[in-house]
A and B are shown apart, each in its own frame.
Chain A
């Protein structure tokens, strides 16, 4: 059962990872990029980060995050892409978000960092991490559907 949009989207994702790697020498791991942007910016506001460090670590992450929003704007409002809510009640969305934020940092990455970049680089660490989070995801869906 072939899905062309999924494949094309995947190629764009892989190309993005390749570009960030080749030009910026960085792994495209969204949890690391966003968390880094948040913590670096927070430290900049508090004055606890050196200008050199924020220059090296903060700006490109903020730029990437802004770029994601710009791209989102293009996808939803220029290309007319479908926008869909999460199907669970708000309290579960909040719990899920907290779990994802905490878990991706503890787990050293998410689907882009481990699933795309890590596996592409033949990282055993990332293959294992991916199997674990996909397995946990599948189990969770099975339980939720079983209970619901």
Chain B
């Protein structure tokens, strides 16, 4: 477990450098990529090419392993599926709206805390509130579902 924790730290660092080098931590570049109807800057498409090309290729081989190198099993990897619910789709829409508005998504915003930008701090604080709100909604819905099944 300790090895996994240490390893996660270094992967997090590599990932952050990757985000920075890619340009994802520059909100104006992100908005430029989403500005398809106007002043379109397609350069961030290359981030997807590099990322999906790399992980896609490595994944083909690694997924055949009996178990991960450090972890005990593959139990934390979700099965691929086509089961996006309406609620999840609405979540995707909301995410896209926030992303288009501020030019930040979770990773780049969090990394940008170390760049000293006040907007990153505001975004991340609000994002954490959003995380907790979603968690709260899920708990409320679960509690309501339990109550209604008990009264039947």
Q: Give the CA-CA distance A117 to B11 in the complex, in Å.
A: 15
Main secondary structure of the interface of A (DSSP, over half): helix
A11: chain B residues within 8 A (beta carbon): 18, 50-51, 53-54
B26 pairs with A82, CB closer than 8 A: yes
Min CB gap A86→B, angstroms = 4
Main secondary structure of the interface of B (DSSP, over half): helix
A133 pairs with B99, CB closer than 8 A: yes
Q: Give the CA-CA distance A39 to B41 in the complex, in Å.
A: 37
Number of interface residues of A (CB under 8 A): 111
B23 pairs with A98, CB closer than 8 A: no
Complex partner residue of B18 from A15, A103, A121, CB under 8 angstroms: A15
B13 pairs with A96, CB closer than 8 A: no
Complex partner residue of B16 from A35, A39, A71, CB under 8 angstroms: A71
B13 pairs with A71, CB closer than 8 A: yes
Q: Give the CA-CA distance A23 to B95 in the complex, in Å.
A: 29
How many B residues touch the partner, as a band?
35 or more
**Of residues A11, A24, A123, A141, which shows the largest number of chain B Cβ atoms within 10 Å of its Cβ?**
A141
B23: chain A residues within 8 A (beta carbon): 3, 5-6, 9
Min CB gap A40→B, angstroms = 11
B43 pairs with A3, CB closer than 8 A: yes
A117 pairs with B127, CB closer than 8 A: no
Please judge, given known A-B contacts A63-B12, A68-B13, whether A8 and B54 are in contact too, CB under 8 Å. Answer: no
A56: chain B residues within 8 A (beta carbon): 1
A60 pairs with B55, CB closer than 8 A: no
Q: Does B117 contact A (CB under 8 A)?
A: yes
B109 pairs with A85, CB closer than 8 A: no
Please judge, given known A-B contacts A75-B21, A94-B126, whether A38 and B88 are in contact too, CB under 8 Å. Answer: no
B105: chain A residues within 8 A (beta carbon): 30, 100, 104, 110-111
Binding site for A on B (CB under 8 A): 1, 4-28, 31, 34-38, 42-56, 58-59, 62-63, 65, 67-78, 80-84, 87-107, 109-120, 122-135, 137
